[in-house]
Chain A
Amino acid sequence: MGMTIAEKILAFKSGKNQVRPGDIVEPAVDLAMSHENAALVINQFLEIYQGTGLTPRVWNPDNITIIFDHRVPAESSKTANNQKKIREFVAAQGITKFHEIRGDVGGICHQVLPEYGYVHPGSLVLGTDSHTTSHGAMGAFAMGIGATEMASVWCLGAILNLEVPATIRVNVSGKLPGYIYPKDIILYLIGMLTANGATFRALEFHGPVIEKMSVSGRLTLANMSVEAGATTGIIPADAETIRYLQQEAEVQEPIEPVLPDPDAVYEQTVDIDVTNMEPQAACPHTVDNVKPVREVAGKTLHQIVIGSCTNGRLDDLEIAARILKGKKVADNVRMLVFPASGRIYRQALQKGYIADLAASGAVIMNPGCGCCLGVHQGALADGETALATTNRNFKGRMGNPNAEVYLCSPATAAVSAITGKITDPREERR
């Protein structure tokens, strides 16, 4: 019987010819990623070694990557101390793929990994961050895990007791209308599947719309797969994946796509035709509360956020800059832009996007997760509403349980920045 991409990767990494959904495997890990929560991973890692008489050594320092992004620069002495502790551990263990708080090599983990070519088709990638699903965009099996699970991976180089997920096939077809972006497609899908519709499942994306989509757009889809509960969200590697890895990430090694067997067994198939799709918004306080932007238009806004691992890439900033060039952000709105990495920041500077956005009234923030997780750089006041290109709108997400967050595409965010209220981006052409 044929296998899906997720099954093929897990079988290969476990040294098996075949796996089936529900099988328990212990696959070898290609890349183990953490950010500031490595501070907790380090604690757990050292605790595992306690009483063993063994010297704590990570299984392979070249297969571990640590990126500072969640609270950069440190918002408190507590975070600063965590970061210091991680730096010392990185140096002691000889971890090579370490990305500091810097304008050259820094950025959000889920942008840095593809940029540096750390993830290849067929890789098994684990990260102590739920949006690790992002890396399925490269045709890899990528999923989020907790800190203790990561400590175990650091010791053993494998993940214990992984249950092979069944796969849901998502076919995306039709003619993409103007003002519809990958973000609209994934929000629409999450609305269809619901917040736990893909729990303990892998998503596998197919169809002509996916084939024509850039790696940047595919990262948006894979990133938010977890918002439907998915273990991982995989886009089959193709010429675009290889182009990205060779040209943008300068990968030299041969790249071998892992594709599903023609007779692969899918638990369910979901078909989406984008031809008549409207711009989508996830409304408070769950990501699956998805409606056409038109239905929530007119809502007064106080903060607009463009950025995050979902939509902080160059094409996202380009869309925002094109819309805002020569225009002004409404007086009632604070607009914050977080480029997803140092590299994207520099590219956006060269292309003039940063100047156009800043001239419109947007505040250009440093690369990082920023206010997405509600720690710093843009908390909301009581009763305020934010419109963000980020990935979560849970109660309290942007630092205040008495505020609301709507999620949308960069185009919807940028057009709404001008009007100061939620606006269907198609209004722009009228």
Chain B
Amino acid sequence: MAQVIIKFGDDISTDTIYPGRFMATVLPTETPAFAFADYKEFNKQLNDKKFPQGSIIIAGNNFGCGSSREQAVSCLKGHELVIVAKSYARIFLQNAVNLGLQALTAPDIEATEGDELVVADNRIVNKTTGKSFTVIPLSGSRQAVMNAGGLISYTRERLVRK
């Protein structure tokens, strides 16, 4: 069981997740400090480690639209968050798979801040409301990258085999 710590609407851009002015910072150990930097209170809570590992961000459609900046994924991964969105922008979803960030697609998700969710077997149960929602599984090829622990190790295996 994990708690929803914030809820966003549609079209949350990478400029919101990781503002462009911090793009010179690239190390995954350093990017989490700037996650949602313009949401000052939320950013501070993240950096103060207020939320346990696996805490959930809820979002609408097209989460992560805009830039290809991978910092928008590494900053969330660094805080060990789980994203549940109705849909994602293509590059963001691919970056999430490549870095091993859990980004679940639940087109009908209904949950709000404070709700407790359980994720299992391609379903999300909102324990607070009692409602249950379908999760669209990753495609086989994306799941294979996730299973390998991300694209670094997936590519390494390919490279060694070559």
Contacts and interface: CB of A to CB of B under 8 A. Distances in A.
B70 interface: yes
B90 interface: yes
A196 B159 contact: no
B62 A196 contact: yes
Contact of A148 (B10, B25, B95, B142): B95
A43 B27 contact: yes
Contacts of B140: 24
Contacts of B154: 152, 160
Contacts of A71: 23-24
Contacts of A39: 26
B152 interface: yes
B62 A195 contact: yes
B136 to A, nearest CB: 12
Contact of B21 (A37, A54, A375): A375
A373 B20 contact: yes
Interface in B68-116: 68-71, 73, 87, 89-91, 94-95, 98-99
Interface string A11-49: 000000000000010000000000011011001100111
B158 A195 contact: no
Contacts of B144: 161
Contacts of A199: 62, 87, 89-90
Contacts of B16: 394-396
Interface string A58-83: 00000000000011000010110010
Nearest to B65: A195
A48 B68 contact: no
Interface residues of B, number: 48
A279 B60 CA distance: 31
A307 interface: no
Contact of A196 (B71, B87, B162): B87
A47 B29 CA distance: 15
A148 B152 contact: yes
Contacts of B27: 43
Interface in A359-387: 373-375
A149 B95 contact: yes
Contacts of A395: 13, 15-16, 38
Contact of B98 (A52, A70, A148): A148
B149 interface: no
Interface string A141-161: 000111111011001100011
In this complex, which of A24, A82, A152 has the most chain B Cβ atoms within 10 angstroms of its Cβ? A152
B32 interface: no
Contacts of B150: 148
Interface in B131-155: 139-142, 144-145, 150-152, 154-155
A51 B159 CA distance: 12
Given A200-B90, A374-B20, A148 B158 contact: no
Contacts of B98: 146, 148-149, 152
Contact of A76 (B13, B24, B162): B24
A373 B95 contact: no
Given A40-B70, A47-B152, A396 B19 contact: yes
A94 interface: no
B23 A48 contact: no
A397 interface: yes
Contact of B156 (A52, A146, A286): A52
A48 B159 CA distance: 9
A248 interface: no
A142 B103 CA distance: 25
Contacts of B67: 129-130, 373
In this complex, which of B15, B99, B144 has the most chain A Cβ atoms within 10 angstroms of its Cβ? B15
A229 interface: yes
Nearest to B96: A146
B54 interface: no
A298 interface: no
Contact of B11 (A160, A286, A373, A397): A286
B159 A392 contact: no
B158 A160 contact: yes
Nearest to A153: B155
A44 B152 contact: yes
Nearest to A38: B26
In this complex, which of B25, B61, B66 has the most chain A Cβ atoms within 10 angstroms of its Cβ? B66
B151 A82 contact: no
A146 B11 contact: no
Given A195-B11, A229-B90, A395-B38, A152 B141 contact: no
A260 interface: no
A374 B90 contact: no
Nearest to A158: B158
A128 B26 CA distance: 13
B120 interface: no
20 contacts: A24-B140, A37-B23, A37-B26, A40-B70, A47-B152, A49-B156, A51-B156, A54-B160, A144-B91, A147-B26, A148-B98, A155-B159, A196-B65, A196-B89, A199-B90, A231-B90, A375-B20, A396-B19, A396-B20, A397-B13
Identify the 4 closest CB pairs spanning chains A and B, nearest first.
A161-B141, A146-B95, A196-B62, A40-B26
Given A37-B70, A48-B159, A199-B90, 11 more contacts: A36-B23, A48-B152, A49-B156, A130-B66, A146-B91, A147-B70, A155-B155, A196-B89, A373-B20, A374-B15, A392-B13
